[in-house]
Amino acid sequence: MYRISLAYSFHRAARAGLLIAGLAVCTAATVAAQEKPYFVTYSHDLEEPGNLEIETKTALARPQGSDRFGATATELEYGVKAWWTSELYVDGQTTPADSTLLTGFRLENRFRPLMREHWINPVLYVEYENISGADKTALEVVGHDGQADLAERNFNSRREHQHEGEFRLILSSNARDWNISENFIAEKNLGHDPWEFGYAVGATRPLKTALSVRECTFCAEKFTVGAESYGGLGDTWTLTLRDTSHYIAPLVGWDLPGRMRVSFSPGFGLTGSSLDRVYRVGVAYEMPQLGSLFRGAKGSVR
């Protein structure tokens, strides 16, 4: 019964995805910037000032000895300044054999302290998380996070409230059409828990970098490919790699017409504490110059 309903859900999701893609193909042929299809790693590319991006990031997995789950983070990303991007996430998850629930929110800000492009570009990242223990979006892996944390029943895990601060030092380079990014993560439960550490590294490149003049949807230049790796590095109480989770995940991003983007990543666990596999799907839509809708046009066209 469960398998039938899960298969039906996936079938419906696939049909909805195809419908969205079809609609996007039919819309005006404008394309968004080639965003990187990372799910956990951040590059130094910030949202363009005044633009709002709405994105969903979904993780599908099954912890050992537990039920499959799907967890989605819905993200509103706004370019406040060219050097400052602000984001709000609302997280939720569904475990078909258990329950469906909202699991909290996150407020995130990223700042580029250096105003020029360098060989390595630092970005400072500060996030406040107010989530429950039932959150399974796994947007970062830190400390001794493992699949056992994701295997608990929602009834129990939702009682645990996590008020956390997360800090990242993002180092990122765009060189010869490649992007290479490294993130160093420190997370602190604002209550009693120790500092937890983690990392995320990734590299991406457009599938085709030569210039193309044709309007197309399925051509190689619309696809970005790469890989990311992420995992925990222990915490201040037990600064060891024992019982930490680590993943490697190929990435594919597809720029659709109409300022939409779809990303997909199958992640593979590398240690016993890791999930065997975690599938991630992202769908993004960018609304240009949202701020000017409220401010009105300044001046007149000369």
Interface with other proteins (CB under 8 A): 30-36, 43, 45-46, 48-50, 79, 81-83, 112-117, 122, 124, 174, 176-177, 179, 206, 209-213, 215, 288-289, 297-302
- Minimum Å gap between C-beta 208 and other proteins is 9
Backbone φ and ψ of 296, nearest 5°: 80, 160
Our CB check for other proteins shows the closer of 77 and 91 to be: 77
- Minimum Å gap between C-beta 225 and other proteins is 14
The one-letter amino acid code at 194 reads P
Our CB check for other proteins shows the closer of 150 and 170 to be: 170
Could you give the C-alpha distances from 127 to 56, 155, 193, 228, 248, in angstroms and in order?
18, 26, 17, 21, 24
- Minimum Å gap between C-beta 54 and other proteins is 17
**What's the rounded Cα separation, in Å, for the pair 36 and 139?**
15
- Minimum Å gap between C-beta 179 and other proteins is 7
Our CB check for other proteins shows the closer of 134 and 186 to be: 186
Our CB check for other proteins shows the closer of 135 and 228 to be: 228
- Minimum Å gap between C-beta 13 and other proteins is 29
- Minimum Å gap between C-beta 302 and other proteins is 5
Our CB check for other proteins shows the closer of 59 and 186 to be: 186
**What's the rounded Cα separation, in Å, for the pair 296 and 302?**
17
- Minimum Å gap between C-beta 166 and other proteins is 15
Our CB check for other proteins shows the closer of 47 and 140 to be: 47
Q: Which residues of 233-268 are buried (b: 16+ CB within 10 A; e: fewer)?
A: bbbeeeeeeebbbbbebebbbbbbbbbbbbbbbebe
Helices (H), the chain: 2-26, 147-150, 154-157, 290-295
**What's the rounded Cα separation, in Å, for the pair 181 and 253?**
16
List the one residue out of 249, 221, 197, 244 whose CA is nearest residue 41: 249
Our CB check for other proteins shows the closer of 76 and 82 to be: 82
162 Cβ contact list (under 8 Å, min separation 6):
104, 129, 130, 131, 132, 133, 135, 189
